[in-house]
């Protein structure tokens, strides 16, 4: 579970714990953004030590970021308690940390950043004004990575943080639906993202290294000192 549904250093989940809603084993703490980045860093270090080509690293982390982003977006689409302005702000901050982590390691060119776009747009949808027809038009033109079903679902689930904040009106949702209908011909109509989607892998051509036998350093731990070069 991606910790995009809480602050960068706090636990995942809603503000109220419901009986039977937590499937984690007793004593297992929910993930934080720091722990996710730590795990990603450990994987990156392990692969780098094996001299993985950059193109393969980019593809590996594209697959991982898709899993993280899709899981978080699906949770948002199914949970009314996280469809709020404040939660949108928290999720957006956590996504920015992941974006920064990828860019700092040169992994942004392989499509990993692009897999975060639906989640980013969902958080923007939670934060923008949702009152006038102009707001509806701006929303439709901005959320191009989301399906019409996803946009309407988030608007329907949106929950004000306080009594001072207004709910999204039914008229506004109908206006958005009308605008989406005009431009949604042939577009993807799915609600939930496929977390099991596997991207195709492209293996780069790597010419064999030009090494001579006398340049090889064989560690003693292999215990093959009985071999002799001829």
Q: What is the mean pLDDT of residues 188-203?
A: 92
Domain count of the fold of the chain: 1
pLDDT confidence tier of residue 13, bands split at 50, 70 and 90: very low
Least confident of 103-117, 175-189, 195-209: 175-189
Two structure tokens written together for 16: 């109220």
Query: What DSSP assignment string belongs to the chain?
Result: --GGGS-TTS-SS-SSPPTT---SPTTPPPP-HHHHHHHHHHHHHHHHHTT--HHHHHHHHHHHHHHHHHHHHHHHHH-GGG-SHHHHHHHHHHHHHHHHHHHHTT-GGGTTTGGGHHHHHHHHHHHS--SSHHHHHHHHHH-TTS-HHHHHHHHHH---SSTTSPPPPHHHHHHHHHHHHHH-TTS---SS--TT------PPP-PPP---GGG----GGG--TT----
Residues 6+ apart with CB under 8 A from 47: 56, 57, 60
pLDDT of residue 19: 39
pLDDT of residue 28: 61
Decide if pLDDT at 27 tops 70. Answer: no
Least confident of 75-89, 154-168, 200-214, 216-230: 216-230
Say if 72 falls within a structural domain. Answer: yes
Say if 79 falls within a structural domain. Answer: yes
pLDDT confidence tier of residue 96, bands split at 50, 70 and 90: very high
Q: What is the mean pLDDT of residues 141-148?
A: 94
Decide if pLDDT at 160 tops 70. Answer: yes
Say if 227 falls within a structural domain. Answer: no
Domain interval for residue 191:
3-11+31-198
What is the spatial distance between Cα 167 and Cα 208, in angstroms, rounded to a whole number?
A: 63
Decide if pLDDT at 177 tops 80. Answer: yes
Decide if pLDDT at 75 tops 80. Answer: yes
Least confident of 7-11, 51-55, 75-79, 121-125: 7-11
Decide if pLDDT at 11 tops 80. Answer: no
Say if 229 falls within a structural domain. Answer: no
Q: What is the mean pLDDT of residues 12-18?
A: 41
CA separation, residue 36 to residues 30, 32, 61, 91, 113 (Å): 11, 6, 13, 14, 16
* Residue among 5, 14, 160 nearest 89 (CA): 5
**How many CA within 13 A on the CB side of residue 160?**
10
Decide if pLDDT at 24 tops 60. Answer: no
Residues 6+ apart with CB under 8 A from 126: 83, 84, 85, 87, 88, 91, 154, 158
Say if 117 falls within a structural domain. Answer: yes
Say if 23 falls within a structural domain. Answer: no
Q: Quote the percentage of the chain above a pLDDT of 70.
A: 85
pLDDT of residue 226: 82
Decide if pLDDT at 14 tops 70. Answer: no
Say if 21 falls within a structural domain. Answer: no
pTM of the model: 0.79
């Amino acid at each position: 579970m991606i910790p995009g549904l809480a602050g960068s250093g706090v636990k995942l989940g809603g503000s109220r714990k419901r009986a039977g809603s937590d499937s984690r084993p007793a004593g297992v703490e929910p993930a934080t953004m720091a722990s996710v980045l730590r795990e990603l860093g450990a994987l990156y270090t392990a692969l780098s030590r094996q001299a993985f080509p950059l193109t393969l690293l980019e593809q590996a982390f594209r697959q991982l970021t898709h899993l993280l982003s899709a899981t978080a977006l699906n949770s948002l689409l199914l949970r009314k308690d996280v469809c709020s302005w404040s939660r949108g702000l928290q999720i957006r901050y956590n996504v920015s940390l992941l974006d920064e982590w990828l860019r700092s390691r040169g992994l942004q060119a392989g499509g990993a950043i692009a897999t975060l776009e639906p989640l980013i747009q969902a958080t923007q949808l939670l934060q923008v004004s949702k009152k006038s027809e102009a707001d509806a038009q701006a929303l439709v033109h901005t959320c191009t990575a989301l399906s019409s079903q996803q946009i309407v679902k988030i608007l329907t689930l949106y929950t004000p943080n306080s009594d001072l904040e207004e709910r999204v009106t039914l008229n506004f949702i109908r206006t958005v639906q009308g605008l989406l209908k005009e431009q949604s011909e042939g577009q993807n109509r799915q609600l939930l993202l496929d977390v099991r989607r596997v991207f195709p892998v492209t293996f780069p051509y790597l010419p064999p290294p030009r090494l001579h036998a006398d340049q090889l350093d064989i560690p003693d731990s292999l215990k093959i000192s009985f071999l002799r070069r001829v």
